[in-house]
Amino acid sequence: MASRAKQFTERGNKQHIKRDLQPRSNSTSYRFYSNSTAPYFVESMPDIDYDLGEMYSGTIPISENDTSRQMFFVYQPTTSEPVDEVTVWFNGGPGCSSLEAFFQENGRFVWGWGMYSAIENQYAWTNLTNMLWVEYPVGVGFSTGNVSATTEEETAADFMGFFKNFQKTFGIKNFKIYITGESYAGRYVPYVSSAMMKTNDTTYFDISGLLMYDPCIGQYEYTGQNAPVVPFVQKNAQLLNLNDTFMKQLEASHEYCGYANYTSFFMQFPPPATQPAWDTGYPDMSASGVDCGLWNLVYEAAYQPNPCFNVYEISSQCPILSDPLAYPSDLQYQYPGMGGIYFNRTDVKKAMHAPMDVDWSECSGPVFAGEAGQYGLGDLSADPIQKILPELIDKTKRVLVANGDYDLEILTEGTLLSIQNMTWGGKLGFQSTPSKPIDIKLPDLQYQEVFENSGLGGLDGPGQGIMGIQHYERGLMWAETFQSGHMQPQFQPRSSYRHLQWVLGRIDEL
């Protein structure tokens, strides 16, 4: 098999390039390989022409006494020195698969948009830690069973059952546990972490840190989208190119609906007061004919000047890039001849020990029963900023929240507004304005050879430069990521690598 390319890893302040990995060694030499884990061992994956190293996937039941409800996982132990920790990743949705992150964000190889085939990921999180991607909750992808949950507490209890069974299967005890994810996983991550914290069981649930990208931690429809959307459009006017008439209407509505006063008053450091609850719908302006659902208006208008508009990365332009998972944006698309959705292929299911009778798609569901709750998704739980996230920050002192500046789905200012409405460590919000730059000094290992072969060697380095803003107070690290969309490990892998290093305690600042 082909030898692996050199990979970069960094532990603490020590940087080095790993040697080329040799052809796959005997599976019995792997750390987690045993009679119990052998059925999950992945020998190879179709069209992935790399040595997979130690990799496992399959389903594990939530309860040892009931195999009808189970969760699908991919487990890739670290390629560096062994560590006694597991980093769990969830995608959001609700209803979207963590196989997307495994395949296109932070796994050992990536097969992203517009790519003819997979390449090795030089900034794979497996350089640092043992990675576990889980299709969560039940109802997502290959995680099958009756969907009955109406709260985050119930889905977290399901995960706890799965995760303890996973650890028993793989002989894992007394490991530090880190929970990470993006988007709607801004709700999953704190609730699962809180469930672990409440057990006081460090043998299986030693929760040690959290990481959330572009997360739904507060009221994301109003605070996360509608209130800050007009300033976002103004800031990115050249990218979105909305016509002058529409912009004037947006700006007038921003004032008329009260969003301008709301953002200017509450986006202060320190915040002047707790924000009022958005529990009665949009401001009622029906008599005036003003539509206060401004985010939806922007979303719909953005497709006219740019038919290839991507809500997850507004810098995207035409053509629409093919996706092996057929979900590059809200426009689901794949080039003819790609062979169909990768994880729905029979040969891929067989290779990964996946249920053969499941028709896999990147986003499926439902994962909650009914349509109750403040978002109409069946999720009755409170927003994490109200109670459980502050508790976790106070306990771990290792919680990172980051937002990408090119993300229209969850806006950077919206996430900051949610943080400014959260009380932790005895104070409301950040007390001082985030301003410290993030200087990414990691080299470009992903495209360095392309630059050199093109006669442009060196233009992509030595580092990446200032790629964001960081701010730390009372156990919470905030990161604003420049030139990134919703899926930060996909769009800015070097920045995300630093984020993970901080959460794992390898570095003290970003």
CB atoms within 10 A of CB 200: 7
Active site residue 407: yes
Indicate the pairing of strand 14-17 with strand 8-11.
antiparallel
Active site residue 183: yes
**Catalytic-role residue among 486, 495, 496, 499:** 486
Active site residue 286: no
Task: Compute the distance between CA of residue 493 and CA of residue 506 in angstroms, rounded to an integer.
Answer: 17
DSSP notation for 78-90? -SSS--SEEEEEE
Query: Nearest-CA neighbor of 191 among 367, 69, 428?
Result: 367
Class of residue 306 by CB neighbours under 10 A (exposed 0-12, middle 13-18, buried 19+): middle
Contact in structure between 392 and 400 (CB atoms under 8 Å): no
Task: Compute the distance between CA of residue 263 and CA of residue 414 in angstroms, rounded to an integer.
Answer: 9
- Quote the crossing angle between the two packed helices 185-199 and 388-396, to the nearest 10°: 60
**Catalytic-role residue among 98, 407, 484, 499:** 407
**Catalytic-role residue among 57, 97, 183, 381:** 183
* 3-class state of residue 101 by DSSP: helix
Contact in structure between 93 and 365 (CB atoms under 8 Å): yes
Q: Rounding to the nearest 10 degrees, give the CA dihedral for residues 146, 152, 155, 156.
A: -170
* 3-class state of residue 133 by DSSP: strand
End-to-end Cα separation, the chain, in angstroms: 37
Task: Compute the distance between CA of residue 128 and CA of residue 125 in angstroms, rounded to an integer.
Answer: 6
CB atoms within 10 A of CB 277: 12
* SS3 sequence of 32-77: CCCCCCHHHECCCCCCCCCCCCCCEEEEEEEECCEEEEEEEEEEEC
Q: What is the separation of C-alpha 378 from the centre of its chain, rounded to a whole number of angstroms?
A: 21
Catalytic residue list: 183, 407, 486
